[in-house]
Amino acid sequence: MQVQLKVNGKAASLDVPPNTLLVTAIREHLRLTGTHVGCDTAQCGACTVLINGKAVKSCNTLALQHPGAEITTIEGIAAADGTMHPMQAAFKDCHGLQCGYCTPGMVMSAIDLCTRHPGASETEIREQLEGNMCRCTGYQNIVKAVQQGGAAMASSQGQASTATASA
Amino acid sequence: MGASDLSRLPHIGESLRRKEDYRFLTGSGQYTDDIQLANMRYAVFVRSPHAHAAIRSVDVSRAEGMPGVVKVFTGKDVEGKMGGLPCGWLITSTDGTPMKEPPHPILAQGKVRYVGDHVAMVVADTVQNAKDAAEAVEVDYDVLPAVVDVREAQKGPGLHEAAPDNHCYKWAIGDKAQVDAAFARAAHVTTLDLTNNRLVPNAIEPRAAIGSFDRSKDEYTLYVANQNPHVERLLMTAFVLGLPEHKVRVIAPDVGGGFGSKIYLYAEDVALTWAAKQLNCAIKWTCERSEAFLCDAHGRDHVSHAEMALDKDGKFLALRVHTDANLGAYLSTFSTAVPTILYATLLAGQYTTPLIHVEVDAWFTNTAPVDAYRGAGRPEATYLLERLVTRCAWELGIPQDEIRKRNFITQFPYQTPVALQYDTGDYHACMDKAKSLAEVGGFEARKKASEAKGLKRGIGYSSYIEACGIAPSNIAGALGARAGLFECGEIRVHPTGSVTVFTGSHSHGQGHETTFAQVVAGRLGIPVENVDVVHGDTGRVPFGMGTYGSRSISVGGAAIMKALDKIEAKAKKIAAHLMEASDADIEFEGGEFKVKGTDKKIPFGQVALTAYVPHNYPLDKLEPGLNETAFYDPTNFTFPAGTYIAEVEVDPATGTVRLDRFTAVDDFGTIINPMIVEGQVHGGLAQGIGQALMENCVYDRESGQLLTGSFMDYAMPRCDDLPSFRIGNHVTPCTHNPLGTKGCGEAGAIGSPPAVINAVLDALKDLGVKDLDMPASAPRVWQAIQQAAH
């Protein structure tokens, strides 16, 4: 069956069997392999992407359920010149990743978290990130990264709105 | 160059941000399942739904007729065409007989022995078609009684003809007669029965593999999520398929965590490689999580009885231990080494206990094979000893920290009564630093504050030691290893002075691309950006034994240092020629070759260019090029050690345990990149605390079904379950490797479980709770409180 999506800003027309999970569409049909599969029970969050700006576990929803949706994957958040998104940069700076497998899902969740709750406390971040498992880091540096990345997002948005205002 | 010179080099001790992170953070990493090959098919394994059954028949006719199905392989297809999976470590029983080593077939031969055992492999054009066809494979089973508990294993039923009593080996170390005599004259004896619960490693990347075959060259390639590709190739070619190694290339690309579970040669890897030639195509298999719970090697699963003999002052006189180890249904690659060489030899811990006797019985059960999981044997030893030591303290009325200090080893080198010789350490310094970071002085006040809220607060200590950097090959060989345990490093200096390092170590999250580059850049005086590290490919790396047992920097890094020594020696000769000086007068410092006592100097890059553009070059004495390979076989293990302190709050009304603070002070020897080392400690702690508080792998005792078969049933530590850790270190460099490093990857998982359980028991002391097995989950703690009250 045909489904039209907008993935990382580009229109994508997919012909997929009706039972195709969104993560399968992203990985197998669009060959965007940054989104990972870590479990089969929607517990680990490695497959998290943004659907219309909200973090969703893409292993737990069908591609056909999202006609016309704007999907953002880990491949779609860096600038065109390769400069990392502030949250990506914060994960690197805070050593918020080790093997890197859970990382794309973690970063996408973190971006959504910081968009919804700018300035979230450590306790709030720990609660909100419960849907994403990391087996390597012990989470401490992930929490730091989310705090730092969230602050950078807020500040770059502030700069953007200032720039818009002055323009 | 020795360890003492190393700390002066640029980049050593700097928390450089990781070179590998850009690709992981932008989704451009390449894990095995990300790889798509031309002409690729997909495999799904038909697995046994029974823990123990005879296979009467396997009918694949309906499955083979289904859409997209290429072929269904069964045990009959592979019988006689390949060997079974080999065990890498031969243990000799106390009576001199070799361990029982029953066949471990790639696809089941006549019998299945655990839920998840491989019965058939379906190959189809899509995963979905392969799954559908797997459902249509008709297997007629004659179900047999099963045994999953190591204590029940000896009563049968027997799993293997080669081991009808399920007994694999009885092994012992130490002088039993002297230990018994010491117990007879002891002022006090403390005893403890405890279980080290079975765990599932659960790297977030499930295992995956692609077998492929190139008929034009008669060459196989296996892409696989694996921690040691050369070992995988060696075992697969020499022991199972009988192929020449040069015709098989094993590539372990980015690997999403391993923790031991990706060390081993698994049946799936062999079946895919072999079938790729049969079908002349590439075949991918990606394990699903629920499947991984069934078929990845599990960890731990020891049941032990331990006794400590003490004098009246709390000095340890002798330790006596008996352990029953569950090996699962078959012998996995390192399984037999875990409860013996990697466990019993660590039971001296940090203490001067002069006499130790340990006896281990290893058993087969109808469960997934058990093998090394983060720490491998060392966590089991530390848990037993540190629980026992704390119990000794309580029985004698000595504080937990004080009894440890009274018994700490202070003179090095120290020969333990269980084979190992510790080269260096400072256990008092780690303890003191841990107490300070943990603010133990304020514990009583915090305990009162908890009591005011109706909560019980407890503090727990654990002073661990581990043997890392395995191993000296000759010692490993004497202890039963069927392989050497050295490492290989190659330094390839390019004409313009940039460098590619080829290492036999393998990174699956440890950040080797940064740490190893720091070492090389520091030594050569060049920017870290000019050094790239290649690992995980038998087609590019000369040889390697891989990453496990915290051996990468201490053994792999040491091999790189040896190769750098050779590079430096040759480069000095080239520099001497260029500056018309004697070789002996050349010094190399800060990336420049200098003639002693003069201002003559030339940079490393010029020497590199000269080696490849040898217009002015001592061609009569030296070959062109600047490329050196070294193998390093260590002379001893390394001995990281430390003291961990846990503080918990327990709600007696619900049994809920909250880890309030956790302090870890380690001695890892030289630290190359503190940020990466600290990250390794965090991860280890999360796994150790996970074992102590929530993780548990449970089989049904009657049916042998795995009850914790997914993340829905097996509690993994999540962000909200852990506090921020208090981390410190105290450095005593390792005395016998050129970097002075000891290894840091497993410490957290080794030291933390006893600290947490000791803290929980400390909290529950007043309620009369004396014992508790892991995990200290709320129902289990609540039950212990109720039982103590009645």
Give the pLDDT confidence of B295-340 residue by residue, as tens digits: 999 999 999 999 999 999 999 999 999 999 999 999 999 999 999 9
Q: Are residues A68 and A93 in the same domain?
A: no
Enter the DSSP assignment of B385: H
Residue A157: is its pLDDT beyond 80?
no
Closest Cβ–Cβ partner in A104, A125, A138 for B682: A138
CA-to-CA distance for B110 and B57, rounded, in angstroms? 9
CA-to-CA distance for B762 and B756, rounded, in angstroms? 10
For testing contact with chain A, the best of B17, B26, B226, B685 (most A CBs within 10 A):
B26
Instruction: Identify the three-state secondary structure at position B489.
Output: strand
> In terms of pTM, does the model score above 0.95?
yes
Name every chain B residue with its beta carbon within 8 A of the beta carbon of A97.
21, 24-25
Indicate the length of chain B as a whole number: 790
B428 within 8 A of B410, measured Cβ to Cβ:
yes
- Closest of B639, B663, B629, B625 to residue B737, by C-alpha: B639
- Cβ–Cβ below 8 Å for B21 and A100: yes
| Structure token digits, residue B544 | 């390697």
CA-to-CA distance for B239 and B260, rounded, in angstroms? 21
User: Looking at the domain assignment, is residue A162 inside a domain?
Assistant: no
| Structure token digits, residue B731 | 């450095």
Tens-place pLDDT, residues A27-82? 999 999 999 999 999 999 999 999 999 999 999 999 999 999 999 999 999 999 99
B408 within 8 A of B461, measured Cβ to Cβ:
no
* Prior bond of B157 cis (ω within 30°): yes
Which secondary structure element, helix H or strand E, spans residue B278, and what is its range?
helix B267-279
B727 within 8 A of B681, measured Cβ to Cβ:
yes
Q: Are residues A59 and A91 in the same domain?
A: no
Average confidence (pLDDT) over A123-143: 97
Strand ranges inside A38-122, DSSP E: 48-51, 54-57, 70-72
Shortest distance, CA B505 to any CA of chain A (angstroms): 15
Torsion of CA B362, B367, B369, B370, to 10 degrees: -60
Name every chain B residue with its beta carbon within 8 A of the beta carbon of A34.
26-29
The model's confidence at residue B214, banded by pLDDT at 50, 70 and 90, is very high
Q: What is the pLDDT of residue B397?
A: 97
B555 within 8 A of B486, measured Cβ to Cβ:
yes
- Closest of B208, B537, B717 to residue A33, by C-alpha: B208
Torsion of CA B351, B357, B362, B368, to 10 degrees: -10
Q: What is the pLDDT of residue B621?
A: 94
- Cβ–Cβ below 8 Å for B720 and A141: no
For testing contact with chain A, the best of B22, B24, B711 (most A CBs within 10 A):
B24
Nearest-10 crossing angle of helices B427-438, B400-407: 160
CA-to-CA distance for B772 and B621, rounded, in angstroms? 70
Residue B50: is its pLDDT beyond 60?
yes
- Cβ–Cβ below 8 Å for B511 and A98: yes
User: Looking at the domain assignment, is residue A143 inside a domain?
Assistant: yes
Enter the DSSP assignment of B238: I
Could you give the C-alpha distances from B659 to A128, B693, B776, in angstroms and in order?
Answer: 19, 9, 11
Task: Show which of A76, A101, A130 is a domain's final residue.
Answer: A76
How many domains are contained in chain A?
2
Average confidence (pLDDT) over A150-165: 76
- Cβ–Cβ below 8 Å for A41 and B289: yes
Asked if the C-beta of B744 comes within 8 angstroms of chain A's C-beta atoms, the answer is no
| Structure token digits, residue B563 | 């190769």
Q: Are residues A99 and A68 in the same domain?
A: no
At residue B433's C-alpha, the angle toward residues B431 and B438, to 5°, is: 95
CATH assignment of B32-144+206-255+262-295, among 3.90.1170.50, 3.40.50.300, 3.40.47.10, 3.40.50.720: 3.90.1170.50
Instruction: Identify the three-state secondary structure at position B762.
Output: helix
Task: Show which of A76, A101, A133 is a domain's final residue.
Answer: A76
The model's confidence at residue A167, banded by pLDDT at 50, 70 and 90, is very low
Instruction: Identify the three-state secondary structure at position B711.
Output: coil
Shortest distance, CA A167 to any CA of chain B (angstroms): 32
Q: Which of residues 459-518 of B touch A (CB under 8 A)?
A: 508-511
- Cβ–Cβ below 8 Å for B718 and A75: no
A142: nearest CA partner in chain B? B719
CA-to-CA distance for B670 and B582, rounded, in angstroms? 34
Task: List, in order, residues 6 or more apart from B442 with CB less than 8 Å away.
Answer: none
Q: Give percent above pLDDT 90 in chain B.
A: 96
Q: What is the pLDDT of residue B2?
A: 63
User: Looking at the domain assignment, is residue A166 inside a domain?
Assistant: no
- Cβ–Cβ below 8 Å for A141 and B206: no
Q: Give percent above pLDDT 70 in chain A.
A: 95
Residue owning tokens 């010094």: B587
Domain of A129: which CATH number? 1.10.150.120
CA-to-CA distance for B78 and B18, rounded, in angstroms? 45
The model's confidence at residue B476, banded by pLDDT at 50, 70 and 90, is confident
In this structure, the number of other CB atoms found within 10 A of the CB of residue A4 comes to 12
Tens-place pLDDT, residues B103-148? 999 999 999 999 999 999 999 999 999 999 999 999 999 999 999 9
A-B CB pairs within 8 A amount to 177
- Cβ–Cβ below 8 Å for A97 and B24: yes
- Cβ–Cβ below 8 Å for B686 and A139: yes
Q: Are residues A71 and A90 in the same domain?
A: no
Boundaries of CATH 3.90.1170.50 in chain B?
A: 32-144+206-255+262-295
The model's confidence at residue B8, banded by pLDDT at 50, 70 and 90, is confident
Q: Are residues A46 and A68 in the same domain?
A: yes
Q: What is the pLDDT of residue A164?
A: 52
CATH assignment of B3-29+486-632, among 3.40.50.720, 3.30.9.90, 3.30.365.10, 1.10.3720.10: 3.30.365.10
Tens-place pLDDT, residues B545-589? 999 988 999 999 999 999 999 999 999 999 999 999 999 999 999
User: Looking at the domain assignment, is residue A53 inside a domain?
Assistant: yes
- Cβ–Cβ below 8 Å for A74 and B26: yes
- Closest of B452, B472, B437 to residue B636, by C-alpha: B472
- Cβ–Cβ below 8 Å for B719 and A126: yes
Q: Which of residues 236-255 of B touch A (CB under 8 A)?
A: 254-255
Task: Show which of A45, A76, A107 is a domain's final residue.
Answer: A76
- Cβ–Cβ below 8 Å for B724 and A140: yes
Q: What is the pLDDT of residue B479?
A: 86
Q: What is the pLDDT of residue B1?
A: 62
First to last CA, chain A: 46
Shortest distance, CA A57 to any CA of chain B (angstroms): 15
Could you give the C-alpha distances from B110 to B86, B438, B662, in angstroms and in order?
Answer: 19, 57, 51
Average confidence (pLDDT) over A6-20: 96
- Cβ–Cβ below 8 Å for A141 and B686: no
CA-to-CA distance for B208 and B205, rounded, in angstroms? 8
Q: Are residues A66 and A100 in the same domain?
A: no
Name every chain A residue with its beta carbon within 8 A of the beta carbon of B204.
36, 38, 44, 46, 99, 101-102, 133-136
Q: DSSP assignment of B607-651, as one string?
A: HHHHHHSTTSS-TTT--S--EEEEEE--SS-B--EEEEEEEEEE-
Q: Identity (one letter) of the amino acid at B574? A: I
CA-CA-CA-CA torsion sign (B377, B383, B384, B389): positive
Closest Cβ–Cβ partner in B288, B680, B748 for A40: B288
Q: What is the pLDDT of residue B103?
A: 97
Q: Are residues A68 and A90 in the same domain?
A: no
Asked if the C-beta of B724 comes within 8 angstroms of chain A's C-beta atoms, the answer is yes
- Cβ–Cβ below 8 Å for A44 and B23: no
CATH (residue range B302-471+636-789): 3.30.365.10
Name every chain B residue with its beta carbon within 8 A of the beta carbon of A135.
202-204, 257, 259, 683, 686-687, 716
Name every chain B residue with its beta carbon within 8 A of the beta carbon of A36.
31, 204-205, 256
At residue A61's C-alpha, the angle toward residues A60 and A63, to 5°, is: 140
| Structure token digits, residue B617 | 């070059």
User: Looking at the domain assignment, is residue A164 inside a domain?
Assistant: no
At residue A164's C-alpha, the angle toward residues A161 and A166, to 5°, is: 110
Average confidence (pLDDT) over B69-80: 97
Q: Are residues A128 and A152 in the same domain?
A: yes
Closest Cβ–Cβ partner in B20, B290, B683 for A138: B683
Name every chain B residue with its beta carbon within 8 A of the beta carbon of A101.
31, 203-205, 256-257
Q: What is the pLDDT of residue B7?
A: 72
Average confidence (pLDDT) over B209-222: 98
Q: Identity (one letter) of the amino acid at B495? A: P
Name every chain B residue with its beta carbon within 8 A of the beta carbon of A58.
none
Residue B149: is its pLDDT beyond 80?
yes
Average confidence (pLDDT) over B232-246: 96
Q: Are residues A101 and A58 in the same domain?
A: no
| Structure token digits, residue B255 | 């690997």
Q: What is the pLDDT of residue B693?
A: 98
Shortest distance, CA A4 to any CA of chain B (angstroms): 23
Could you give the C-alpha distances from B272 to B39, B117, B222, B457, in angstroms and in order?
Answer: 14, 16, 8, 53
Q: Are residues A103 and A151 in the same domain?
A: yes
- Cβ–Cβ below 8 Å for B206 and A37: yes
Q: What is the pLDDT of residue B4?
A: 58
Domain of A26: which CATH number? 3.10.20.30
Closest Cβ–Cβ partner in B27, B286, B710 for A73: B27
Task: List, in order, residues 6 or more apart from B339 with CB less than 8 Å away.
Answer: B171, B302, B323, B325, B327, B360, B362, B377, B380
Strand ranges inside chain A, DSSP E: 2-7, 10-15, 48-51, 54-57, 70-72
Domain of A90, in residue numbers: 86-157
Residue A163: is its pLDDT beyond 60?
no
Asked if the C-beta of B36 comes within 8 angstroms of chain A's C-beta atoms, the answer is yes
Name every chain B residue with its beta carbon within 8 A of the beta carbon of A102.
204, 256
Task: List, in order, residues 6 or more apart from B17 with CB less than 8 Å away.
Answer: A92, A93, A95, B514, B675
Instruction: Identify the three-state secondary structure at position A29.
Output: helix
Pairing of strands B208-214, B219-224: antiparallel
Q: What is the pLDDT of residue A162?
A: 57
Residue B217: is its pLDDT beyond 70?
yes
Provide φ and ψ at B309, rounded to 5°: -95, 130
B524 within 8 A of B604, measured Cβ to Cβ:
yes
B27: nearest CA partner in chain A? A34
Least confident window among A63-67, B87-91, B456-460, B473-477: B473-477
Q: Give percent above pLDDT 70 in chain B.
A: 99
Closest Cβ–Cβ partner in A27, A75, A134 for B204: A134
Q: Identity (one letter) of the amino acid at B396? A: L
Mean pLDDT of chain A: 94
